[in-house]
Amino acid sequence: MIKVLGIVVVVAILAAAGYQVRSPRPEVIVPAEIIAHPFGFPLSNTFITAWITIAVLLTLFYFATGFNGSRMKLIPSGIQNFMEAAVGGLLDFVVGIAGEHNGRKFFPLVATIFLFIITNAWLGLLPGFGTIGPVSNVEHGNPRDFKEVNLGGLKLALILPGMPQPEAAKDDDSAVVAHPAKTPEGMINGVLVPALRPANTDLNTTLGLALIAMLFIQFWGIQANGPFSYGGRFLRVGEIFKGRIGFGLLDLYVGLLETIGEFAKIISFTFRLFGNMFAGEVLLLFIAWLVPFVGVLPFMGLELFVGFVQALVFAGLTLVFSTMAVASHGEEHAEHAESH
Amino acid sequence: MEPQAVKLLAAGISMGLGAIGPGIGIGLLAGKALEAIGRNPEARNYITTNMILAIAFAEAIGIYALVIAIILIFT
C-alpha cells in the first residue's frame, strides 16, 4: 500500500515538473527537409543521419574486429563479445530459416539490412533528433517566434514553455496575407528545420532498402534456378504447350498474379517500415506535447520494441522471399501433377 | 464543405476503418499461436518467432491506412 502511494506521488511530481518543461505543438512534415546544397546536391537531414548510422556501425565493428582481425582476441571480451553474440544470433536466425548453405549465402545482405534498420531506429530516439537545427524562412511549415539569445557570438533561437504557438495552417488564401503582428523585440521569426532526423522516416531510405532487397531476391532466384526456369514462374506457358488450354489460361493468370505480387512486395516493404517509423516519430512528438514527462516513457519503450521488430521483419521477410525464390520450381510442378 | 474539413474527416474515417481488419487479424493470429504454445510448450520459440513475422504482415495493412491519414492531415 505504501509502495503504491509512493509510486503515485513520484508520478505526480514528474508530471508537474514535466509541465514546466513542456514541448511546443509539433510540426509534422512528411518529406525530409533539405538543409544544404553542397556542390548542387540537395542534402537532406535524413541523409546525414544515415551516414551517422554507418559511422556508428563501422566504429562498433572496428573496435570488435579491427577490420582485418587485428584487434580480435581468442577469448572475446567487451565489444568483441557483444558483437560476436549479435552476429552469432543473426546467423542462427538466418540459418534456421534458410538452411545451412543458402543461409550463408543470404547472411550478409539480411544481417546488414537488420543492423542498418535497427541502428537507424534506435539512434532516432536519442535527444537532439528532430529538435535542434537552423531556423530559416522556408516555404512549408508555420513560422513562429523564437526567443533570441546571444552567447558571445553564438546566436541561439529558443522555444521556451509558455511562448505563443503558431496558428494551425489554413488552406485558404488568408495565409498569403502578410504576417499580421510585428515580431516583438528580442525574437526571431522563422521555421525550425531539424538538422538530424531518423533515416527510416524518409521514404527514400525505405524505398532504397526495398529495391535492393528485391533485386537481390531476383538475382538469387535466377542464379539458383537459371533464367528460364525462374522466368517460368512468372510466365507460365507450360500448360498451354502441353495442349490443356483451360488450365493453361489459369496458369497464365497465376503467373500474372505472381508478377504483380513481386511489385507489391516492394511497395509493402517500403510502406511497412516507413509507416511504422514515421508514425512512431509523430506519436512521440505529440505525446511529448500532451503529457510531457510521464507519457513519453512507455512510448519510448514501445518505440524501442517497434524498431527491433521492424528490423527483424524486414530482414526476415527478405530471407523468406529469398528462400522461396531459390527453391526449385520443379517441386511445385510435381505436387501439381499429383493432385490431378 | 471546405476542403480542409473534408480532409480531416477523410483522415479520421480512413484510420478508423483501416484499423478494423488488422485488429481482428492480429487477434486471431495471437490466439492461434497461444493455443499452439499451450499444446506444445517445447516449440515456444519457433512459434513465437513466426507469430511475430505474421503479425508484422497484418499490421502493415493498418500502417498503410495510418500513412494515408497522416498525409491527409498534414498536407
The 3-state DSSP class for residue A242 equals: helix
Global confidence as pTM? 0.86
- Mean pLDDT for chain A? 84
Please compute the mean of the pLDDT values over residues B33-57 and round it to a whole number: 90
The complex's ipTM works out to 0.80
Q: Do B60 and A312 touch (CB under 8 A)?
A: no
Q: Do A279 and B66 touch (CB under 8 A)?
A: yes
pLDDT at residue A122 above 70? yes
**Cα A117 to Cα A276: distance, rounded to the nearest angstrom:** 12
DSSP, res A126: S
Q: Do A30 and B74 touch (CB under 8 A)?
A: yes
Q: Do B64 and A320 touch (CB under 8 A)?
A: no
Q: Do B4 and A171 touch (CB under 8 A)?
A: yes
Establish, for the pair of chains A and B, how many residue pairs have beta carbons separated by less than 8 Å: 50
Q: CA end-to-end span of chain B, whole Å?
A: 18
Cell of A19: 509541465
Q: Which of B1, B51, B59, B63 to mutate to test the interface with A (most CBs of A within 10 A)?
A: B63
Cβ burial, residue A112 (10 Å; 0-12/13-18/19+): middle
> Which residue, chain included where needed, has cell 584487434?
A71
Please compute the mean of the pLDDT values over residues A27-34 and round it to a whole number: 83
Write down the CATH number for the domain with range B3-74: 1.20.20.10
**Cα A209 to Cα B32: distance, rounded to the nearest angstrom:** 32
Closest CB from A30, A272, A316 relative to B63: A272
Closest CB from B3, B67, B70 relative to A28: B70
What is the tens place of the pLDDT at every residue in A185-237?
Answer: 667 777 788 889 999 999 999 999 999 999 999 999 999 998 988 988 888 88
Closest CB from B4, B56, B66 relative to A313: B56
What is the tens place of the pLDDT at every residue in A245-285?
Answer: 888 888 889 999 999 989 999 999 999 999 999 989 999 98
For B63, the closest chain A residue by CA position comes to A275
Chain B residues close to A142, C-beta within 8 Å? none
Residues 19-38 of A with CB under 8 A from B: 28-30
User: Which residues are A147's β-sheet partners?
Assistant: A158, A187
Torsion sign over Cα A72, A78, A83, A88: positive
Amino acid at site A242: K
Closest CB from B53, B60, B74 relative to A28: B74
Chain A residues close to B66, C-beta within 8 Å? 275, 279
What is the tens place of the pLDDT at every residue in A286-323?
Answer: 888 888 878 888 999 999 999 999 999 999 999 999 99
Cell of A31: 518529406
What is the tens place of the pLDDT at every residue in A142-176?
Answer: 677 777 777 776 777 777 776 766 665 544 444 44
**Cα B57 to Cα B61: distance, rounded to the nearest angstrom:** 7
Q: Do A310 and B67 touch (CB under 8 A)?
A: no
Chain A residues close to B60, C-beta within 8 Å? 268, 271-272, 275
- The dihedrals phi and psi of A150, each to the nearest 5 degrees, come to -115, 110
| Closest CA of chain B from A40, distance in Å | 27
Q: Which of A30, A110, A269 to mutate to test the interface with B (most CBs of B within 10 A)?
A: A30
For B46, the closest chain A residue by CA position comes to A96
Sorted by where each begins, the domain ranges of chain B are 3-74
Cell of A20: 514546466
**Cα A240 to Cα A257: distance, rounded to the nearest angstrom:** 17
Q: What is the 3-state secondary structure (H, E, C) of chain B?
A: CCHHHHHHHHHHHHHHHHCHHHHHHHHHHHHHHHHHHHHCHHHHHHHHHHHHHHHHHHHHHHHHHHHHHHHHHHC
- Total residue length of chain A: 340
Q: Which of B2, B14, B26, B53 to mutate to test the interface with A (most CBs of A within 10 A)?
A: B53
DSSP, res A91: H
CB A146 within 8 A of CB A135: yes
For A96, the closest chain B residue by CA position comes to B46
| Closest CA of chain A from B39, distance in Å | 22
pLDDT value at position A318? 94
Closest CB from A172, A271, A317 relative to B63: A271
Please compute the mean of the pLDDT values over residues A320-336 and round it to a whole number: 72
**Cα B5 to Cα B10: distance, rounded to the nearest angstrom:** 9
Chain A residues close to B71, C-beta within 8 Å? 30
For A170, the closest chain B residue by CA position comes to B4
* Sequence-ordered alpha helix ranges (H) in A21-99: 45-65, 79-98
Q: What is the CA radius of gyration of chain B?
A: 17
pLDDT at residue B27 above 90? yes
